[in-house]
Amino acid sequence: MNISKLFLIGCLGILSIDAWSQCNTDYQLSWSDEFELTEVDTDKWVPQQGGGGFGNQELEYYQSQNATVSGGLLHIKIANETVVDGSTTYNYTSAKLQTASKADFLYGKMEARIKMPDALGAWPAFWMLGSNIGDVGWPHCGEIDIMEWVARGPDAATGSIFYDGIWPNNHLSTPYNIPQGQSFITDFHTFAVEWEPNEIRYYCDGNQYATYKNSSIPVEWVFNHEFYIILNCAIGGTGGGNTINIVDPKYMEVDYVRVYTLPTTADSIIVSGPKSLMENSQNVLYTTTYFPNTTYDWLLPDGATITDGLGTNAIHVNFTAAGGKVKVTAANSCATLSDSISLNVLADTCTIMYDNFDDTINVTYQATGTLTGQFANPLQDNINSSAYVGQYERSSAETYDVLGVYDIALENALEYENSSRVFFMDMLTSAPIGTQITLQLENSALNAGAYPQGRRSAYIGHVSQQNEWHTVRFNFSQIISTNTLPDQVDHVALLFDPGHLTGDVYYIDNFRRLRASSDCASLTTAITESEKNSFSIYPNPSNGQVNLNLPEDGQLQVFNFAGALVMTQKINAGSSLINLNNYPSGVYTLVFNGQHASYAPVKLVKE
């Protein structure tokens, strides 16, 4: 069925096609409806309601009561009856069933045994749409028409695919002309496709009559992802035609719908899941590639237990304090494959080192800029004598440059929001004093959308020394979105100089978490003790009035959370009063530029 909507957005495949191969075994039944109940099985089908032409000028109004089950058959009734929906009057009714939200399918043999209605203008179909249609629209989701038939012209059923482009230049169609003496109206016939990566083969009554391959079309092959099944009988429109002859109710009848799959294997499989965790982490998800008719055996570190998903490709695990291998073995009649990852389980000690770029690396990275690990330390001193550090070159094309830190062991975000856990990082850069670095706790699955979606909380650090090693402390700033729960955080995002297009280079080292408790040493501040000519501010937090004690005459700049300059003021040595009443609550950076330069953060809390 042709749906005339165009949203040309990229589809996501869910399996690496290059890694796919098939072995020569028989198809095995994996899903079916034999229509043996006394009504439509709503655990398998969703009846559709409504009309509107569906982009094809169709005349029918779909309603659930037109789909009934009896005698082992599904009966889709088409009738000449009036339905008023809003301001629109429909003169014909029919039914449409689909498996969307109930069952999605990826590859296999889809088959149905169907008898057509004896009614001029009827347009029955057995077809499939890409399950991602809600995200990418038609036709980029793909459409596989296993069978379309119209009660006019030659007695032929048609098999089609629809792909990117504008009708009529976005499809391939092939008719199957029934042998002389047979009829689609008086007898049941079996329609099927064998759907594999990059190829779809069409059959009627076991006779192959069409093959479509990715090389058959001039654009992207949009059929290597999940689809759902649809059964319906349209009336009129671009398929049924302008001549309608439905006096008494007529029926499209379906004996069964069956989905078969082949045991399949790949050259390799990959385990996906965290590589670093805090001890006693609960309900942690690990997954690997799904294949039908395959058993999955998981091997876990000592004491770890599977809470659900045993024997499947996706498990949730409760861990203890033991690290080790997370390994899966997938076996079917084609092959046995395995993969594993090494898991570090970290204890809640006073200091957790995430990455020292030498011998301790408990994280992985994704960056908009360029990160070089184990870069020779350009300035070994008493603050950082490491042989190797990380070199990060900020992308000057990004207003909000991000260095994502993944596979990181994190406690509940509440521990950081109440400052009982604090992030630190050693830094060397030529970026100006006061340059802001924002750290955000985020959830990978939730932040696919625009800010603030998926972001939990933000922490602010600043450059306090230029061209010298110093320690940056990330102080809690704000809760960004309460829709991301404290226990949903799975990675850290570092934003260097947010809100600006700068290309500064930052040397970073010893990214770590410190715990504030009576049995741990006190937490150091972001401003080093050796810093000269620093200025004092009070009260901090402030409700709007900030007192400064400055060492000399100069200029004061105030930057907000996003790094934007909100105030510039000349100021004299000694005590001064700054009014921030016109600005909203948040963390601000006060940068003083005189003969010497220094900065200090202030938290503004408005009543």
pLDDT score of 3 more than 60: no
Pairing of strands 336-346, 276-278: parallel
Could you report how far apart the first and last alpha carbons of the chain are, in Å?
60
**Would you state the structure tokens that stand for residue 65, as one six-digit string?**
């009561």
pLDDT at 266: 67
Distance CA 319, CA 339 (A): 19
Catalytic annotation, pick one of 60, 143, 411, 417: 143
3-state SS class at 216: helix
pLDDT score of 522 more than 70: no
Question: Comparing C-alpha atoms, which of 352, 371, 4, 380 is closest to residue 162?
Answer: 4
pLDDT score of 251 more than 90: yes
Question: Comparing C-alpha atoms, which of 246, 280, 210, 223 is closest to residue 107?
Answer: 223
Q: Are 356 and 521 in contact (CB under 8 A)?
A: no
pLDDT score of 268 more than 70: yes
pLDDT at 140: 92
Q: How many residues in total does the chain contain?
A: 607
CA atoms within 13 A on the CB side of 244: 24
Phi, psi dihedral angles at 134 (to 5 degrees) = -65, -25
Task: Kindly state the average pLDDT of the residues 30-50.
Answer: 96
Query: pLDDT per residue over 69-84, tens digit each?
Result: 999 999 999 999 999 9
- Considering only 9-23, 566-580, 591-605, which range has the smallest mean pLDDT? 9-23
**What is the pTM for the complete model shown?**
0.54
Task: Kindly state the average pLDDT of the residues 44-61.
Answer: 93
Q: How confident is the model at residue 448 (pLDDT cuts 50, 70, 90)?
A: low
Residue 242 per-residue DSSP state: S
Query: pLDDT per residue over 502-517, tens digit each?
Result: 999 999 999 999 988 8
Question: Comparing C-alpha atoms, which of 314, 319, 498, 482 is closest to residue 400?
Answer: 498
Residue 339 per-residue DSSP state: E
Query: pLDDT per residue over 455-499, tens digit each?
Result: 999 999 999 899 999 999 998 989 999 999 999 999 999 999 999
Preceding amide of 168 cis, omega within 30: yes
Catalytic annotation, pick one of 58, 148, 398, 417: 148
Show the 3-state SS of 14-60.
CCCHHHEEECCCCCEEEEEECCCCCCCCCCCCEECCECCCCCCCCCE
Gyration radius of the chain over CA positions: 32
Handedness of CA 235, 236, 238, 239 (dihedral sign): positive
- Considering only 7-16, 172-181, 259-268, which range has the smallest mean pLDDT? 7-16
Q: How many Cβ atoms from other residues are within 10 Å of residue 353's Cβ?
A: 16
pLDDT score of 527 more than 50: no
Q: Is 143 one of the catalytic residues?
A: yes
Task: Kindly state the average pLDDT of the residues 317-328.
Answer: 95
Quickly tell me which residue has 């000349």 as its tokens.
570
Q: Is 226 one of the catalytic residues?
A: no
Residue 187 per-residue DSSP state: S
Higher pLDDT, 262 or 97: 97
**Would you state the structure tokens that stand for residue 349, as one six-digit string?**
């000690």
Residues 6 or more apart whose CB falls under 8 angstroms from that of 353 comprise 360, 362, 510, 511, 512
CA atoms within 13 A on the CB side of 56: 19
**Would you state the structure tokens that stand for residue 334, as one six-digit string?**
């084609």
pLDDT at 523: 62
Distance CA 208, CA 196 (A): 15
Question: What is the enclosing helix (H) or strand (E) of 2?
Answer: none
Query: pLDDT per residue over 340-398, tens digit each?
Result: 999 999 999 999 999 999 988 889 999 999 999 999 999 999 889 999 999 999 999 99
Domains of the chain (ranges, CATH numbers): 24-261 (2.60.120.200), 265-346 (2.60.40.10), 351-515 (2.60.120.430), 536-604 (2.60.40.3080)
The beta-strand segments (E) located in 267-420 are: 276-278, 284-287, 295-299, 305-308, 314-318, 324-331, 336-346, 351-355, 364-367, 370-376, 388-393, 402-406
Pairing of strands 88-94, 60-62: parallel
Distance CA 311, CA 474 (A): 43
Distance CA 287, CA 316 (A): 9
pLDDT score of 529 more than 50: no
H helices within 247-384, ranges in order? none
**Would you state the structure tokens that stand for residue 426, as one six-digit string?**
């050693």
Task: Kindly state the average pLDDT of the residues 150-158.
Answer: 83
Show the 3-state SS of 484-544.
CCHHHCCEEEEEECCCCCCCCEEEEEEEEEEECCCCCCCCCCCCCCCCCCCCEEECCCECC
Q: Are 340 and 323 in contact (CB under 8 A)?
A: no
